[in-house]
Structure formats: C-alpha cells, structure tokens
Amino acid sequence: MSAERVKLHIDDTGGSGRPVVLIHGWPLAADSWSEQTGPLQDAGHRVISYDRRGFGQSEKPDDGYDYDSLADDLAEVINSLDLKDVTLVGFSMGGGEVARYASRHGLDRVHSVVFAAAVPPFLKQSSDNPDGPLDDETFQGLRSSLEKDREGFFEDFTTGFFSVGDELVVSEQQRQEAMQMARLSDQTAALACMDAWATTDFRSDLDQVTVPALVIHGDSDATVPFEGSGERTHQALADSELALIKGAPHGLNVSHATEFNAALIPFLAR
C-alpha cells in the first residue's frame, strides 16, 4: 500500500552538475552525509539529501513505512526537483529504497546506483533465505530493546554502528551526533522501519537494476555483515563494482570517509 505523500525535509546544494541523491540509514537523517556533501560538490555534483519520513526534520505520519511507500517518497524527491541522469546512493536501509525504486519506478532518470553498507538482498534468515545474516531471535531481541528502552537501545546501536570489535573507531562527538539524529526519529517510524529493513526481500528488485552499480562495504561491518548483504548484492548485479574497505565498520562513510569518498567519486564520473 502506498501512503499519501508527506512533507520531506530536503537539502539541495543546487547547481548544474550531475545530481547525486543521498539516502540515509536507519535511524539517522540527511546530516549523516556531512562527510560526503562537500567533496561531492567539489567534484562538480549537485548534491541532494533528504530526511526519510518519520526521521530528522521530515513529517512524521502514523504509516507509510513499507518500502513501496518509501520508494514512492524517493520518486517524489526526484520528480519534484526534475532530476535526470541521477546517481542514487543508498546507505544501509537506504539501499532498500534504491532497489525498490528500480523495480517500482524504473530507471529512466537514473545514471547509476550505489549500495553502501546496504541491507539488500534480504537480511532475514529463513528456509528460503539461509544466507540471510539476521536470525529471528536476534531481530526480536533488537525490536524488544527498542520498544522497552529507546535511549539505551540507541546508545548500544550507535556504538556498534561505529565499532570494530570492542573499539569505537570514530570520535565520541561523532557518535553523539548520530545519537542526536536517532533521537529525532519518531518511535512509530523507528519500529516500523526496523520491520521493513529486517524483513523485506529485495532479490527480485535487484533483477531490475540494469544501470552501473557500485557496492561499498566495510569488511568489519557487524551491523549489516558484508557476507550476507554487500557480497550477495555484488554477485546479483552483473554490472557492478565492489569496494571492500578494510577495517571499516557499518558507519564507514564517517569512520573511513576518505576511503569511502575515494571509491564513490571516481565511480560517479563514469
């Protein structure tokens, strides 16, 4: 079901360069792309990022957190700004919007796509998806923790998001910035989007991705493990490149921003 359109907070650097749309991860906001916006502008791109419905400064409706609705929101951003020859960069949960947009709206306006530490092809482990990295017990534990102790959950989640093993690989200030973004999320949205990214099967959506694709992932990502996600997406997309960043956690666009941008920007030029 597609929900009614909502008012989204959009950041747009403007300009005449080829556009790049940055789609943030859960439970963050467009500000999570701060390490990419400047370098992408310097490379000549028009950079657009937006807060997903229910997150950041966007409107927070009671529903519309399934991927059909979220992909329709992305289409609304693209169409309202009349973007053409655009690259879609989906981080974590945002990779699901990229895949679902391809199957639901086609790629006439799209030059290329990027899956960054992204959840496709299908996180939830099942008999039909034995390689899914998220088993039901772990998922139910995460969901229950978010329901019972939202602040404590976000403390643990953002720590793991930026950690390799037990070592936090960003500054505490950077982790606190992620915490602040997480606190801006609506609880209904946070829970419903957790359900969406954990349980949505994007395998058939990836079949519709026919433009050049880049998969960027950290080899030390404990939140969305490479072997169960990025590696499988790369294998599913014949016309894809892989940038596997050594020693990088889930939040690699912050922790390893230099390496991330060095993989992203040359790909955008193709």
When pLDDT is cut at 50, 70 and 90, the band that residue 191 belongs to is very high
- 38's enclosing H/E stretch is helix 34-42
> Which are the contacts of 68, defined by CB distance < 8 A and separation ≥ 6?
1, 2, 100, 104
Q: Is 9 a catalytic residue?
A: no
The rounded distance, in Å, linking the Cα atoms of 241 and 220 is 19
Rounded to an integer, the average pLDDT of 96-116 is: 98
The answer to whether position 39 is within a domain reads yes
Helix (H, G, I), strand (E, B) or coil at 15: coil
Q: Counting beta carbons within 10 angstroms of the beta carbon of residue 59, is it exposed (0 to 12), middle (13 to 18) or buried (19 or more)?
A: middle
Q: How many domains does the chain have?
A: 1
Write down the pLDDT at residue 2: 42
Write down the pLDDT at residue 4: 62
Rounded to an integer, the average pLDDT of 158-164 is: 98
Q: How far is CA 237 from the centre of its chain?
A: 18
Q: Check whether 197 has a pLDDT greater than 90.
A: yes
> Which are the contacts of 66, defined by CB distance < 8 A and separation ≥ 6?
1, 192, 196, 200
The answer to whether position 4 is within a domain reads no
pTM of the model: 0.97
Q: Check whether 3 has a pLDDT greater than 60.
A: no
The active-site residue, picked from 66, 221, 234, 240, is 221
The active-site residue, picked from 32, 69, 92, 163, is 92
Domain of 146, in residue numbers:
10-268
The answer to whether position 5 is within a domain reads no
Cβ contact 251:24 at 8 Å: no
Q: Check whether 106 has a pLDDT greater than 50.
A: yes
- What is the domain-level CATH number for residue 57? 3.40.50.1820
Compute the C-alpha angle 29/38/95, nearest 5°.
40
Rounded to an integer, the average pLDDT of 150-172 is: 98
The active-site residue, picked from 103, 250, 255, 256, is 250
| Residue 114 tokens, joined | 């990027």
The answer to whether position 221 is within a domain reads yes
Q: Check whether 141 has a pLDDT greater than 50.
A: yes
The answer to whether position 3 is within a domain reads no
The answer to whether position 73 is within a domain reads yes
Q: Is 136 a catalytic residue?
A: no
When pLDDT is cut at 50, 70 and 90, the band that residue 46 belongs to is very high
* Average confidence score pLDDT of the chain: 97
Q: Check whether 97 has a pLDDT greater than 70.
A: yes
Q: Is 92 a catalytic residue?
A: yes
> Which are the contacts of 264, defined by CB distance < 8 A and separation ≥ 6?
36, 40, 89, 114, 116, 214, 216
Rounded to an integer, the average pLDDT of 75-103 is: 98
Say which amino acid occupies 127: S
Based on its alpha-carbon atoms, the radius of gyration of the chain, rounded to whole angstroms, reads 17
When pLDDT is cut at 50, 70 and 90, the band that residue 1 belongs to is very low
Q: Check whether 5 has a pLDDT greater than 90.
A: no
Cβ contact 218:249 at 8 Å: yes
- 240's enclosing H/E stretch is strand 240-245
The answer to whether position 18 is within a domain reads yes
Taking only the tens place, the pLDDT of each residue in 28-37 is: 999 999 999 9
Write down the pLDDT at residue 96: 98
When pLDDT is cut at 50, 70 and 90, the band that residue 239 belongs to is confident
Q: Check whether 130 has a pLDDT greater than 60.
A: yes
The answer to whether position 100 is within a domain reads yes
To the nearest 10°, report the CA torsion of 136, 141, 143, 146.
Answer: -170
